[in-house]
Amino acid sequence: MTDEKKIDQAAEIIKNSQNVVVFTGAGHSTESGIDDFRSSGGLWDRYDPSIYASYYSFLQDPSKFWQMHNELENILVNAKPNQGHFAIVELEIIGKLKAIITQNIDMLHQRAGSGTYKNIPIFELHGSYGSLICVRCRKEYNYEDIDTKSVDFPVCDCSGYIKPKVVLFGEALPLKALEGAMEASSHCDCFILIGSSLTVAPANLMPGIAKDNGAKIIFINRGNTEMDYLADVFLKDYASIILTRIIEKLKK
């Protein structure tokens, strides 16, 4: 059980803030049935990422990626936003939240309604599975326009390979999303990290950027990170429980 005083402290920080940024990692989506890829029994236990999720390997033989993707797609399509996602929407509605930064590709923030009330940006550092792109000519496709099921891998009209707009190992992060995330982190007065172990660069730079620019830092995680020293408040529990309680206090 999380210390009630820490809940009060986190709520007070948010109450006194005008520019809140939320950063979410894989742990935020586990309550929606999407296992952390790196956890025991996760995706990387079944598919060696150096083969199935490598950009270099994709360019050599995209069929292996698509084999993994078709299993992952079923998981993502069936996943639903959890109470933590809806609590983040509440932060947007009350005017505190100014941006979301996420390492997740599942688009659950959008499906929960984030970005629709105050038009806040959602910076997807690792891309999203919702659309497709040709690696050669960069033409974008919707899933309904491309046959991805009855072929080993889809091919563009230019003969280039088509992949979801997700970032594979060895592939650069989308520059616009990365620059937007760094900008948001440097200008916020409250940075809330949820469900990330902060082991993947450059995403793990964001809390430090916020801290260096004077922001209060709230960590909501089930486990520790190597950057716990940055947190002004560390709340160790499920995000849905913590965030729901914080929202209740903000509405009083």
Are 103 and 204 contained in the same domain? yes
> What CATH number corresponds to the domain at position 84?
3.40.50.1220
65 pLDDT exceeds 70?
yes
Query: How many domains does the structure of the chain reveal?
Result: 2
Are 195 and 250 contained in the same domain? yes
Are 30 and 152 contained in the same domain? no
Catalytic residue, candidates 69, 109, 126, 187: 126
Are 199 and 226 contained in the same domain? yes
Calculate the alpha carbon distances from 87 to 142, 238, 245, 246 in Å. Answer: 29, 13, 9, 9
Split at pLDDT 50, 70, 90, the class of 75 is confident
DSSP summary character for residue 222: S
Query: Are 210 and 39 spatial neighbours (Cβ–Cβ below 8 Å)?
Result: no
> What CATH number corresponds to the domain at position 141?
3.30.1600.10
Strand order of the β-sheet with 190-194 is 122-124, 97-102, 20-24, 190-194, 216-220, 233-235
Q: What is the pLDDT of residue 44?
A: 64
Are 18 and 121 contained in the same domain? yes
**Alpha-carbon gap, residue 104 to 106, rounded angstroms:** 6
Split at pLDDT 50, 70, 90, the class of 252 is confident
Q: What is the pLDDT of residue 10?
A: 98
Give pLDDT tens digits for 194-213. Answer: 999 998 889 999 999 999 99
Q: What is the pLDDT of residue 177?
A: 97
Query: Are 101 and 24 spatial neighbours (Cβ–Cβ below 8 Å)?
Result: yes
Q: What is the pLDDT of residue 34?
A: 87
Determine the structural domain holding residue 46 and report its residue range: 37-78+128-166
Mean pLDDT of the chain: 93
Nearest Cα to 218, choosing from 27, 12, 31, 35? 12
Are 25 and 86 contained in the same domain? yes
Are 87 and 102 contained in the same domain? yes
Are 248 and 195 contained in the same domain? yes
In 188-238, alpha helices (H): 206-212
Is the alpha carbon torsion for 34, 36, 39, 45 positive or negative? positive
Split at pLDDT 50, 70, 90, the class of 242 is very high
Question: Is-catalytic flag, 126?
Answer: yes
Q: CB count, 10 Å around CB of 78?
A: 10
Are 142 and 219 contained in the same domain? no
Tally the residues of the chain. 252
Domain end position, chosen among 113, 147, 166: 166
Are 155 and 186 contained in the same domain? no
Span 57-82, average pLDDT: 92
Split at pLDDT 50, 70, 90, the class of 249 is very high
Domain end position, chosen among 105, 138, 166: 166
Domain end position, chosen among 142, 166, 190: 166
Give pLDDT tens digits for 156-197. Answer: 999 999 999 999 999 999 999 999 999 999 999 999 999 999
Q: What is the pLDDT of residue 36?
A: 67
Are 147 and 245 contained in the same domain? no
Are 14 and 84 contained in the same domain? yes
Give pLDDT tens digits for 102-125. Answer: 999 999 999 999 999 999 999 999
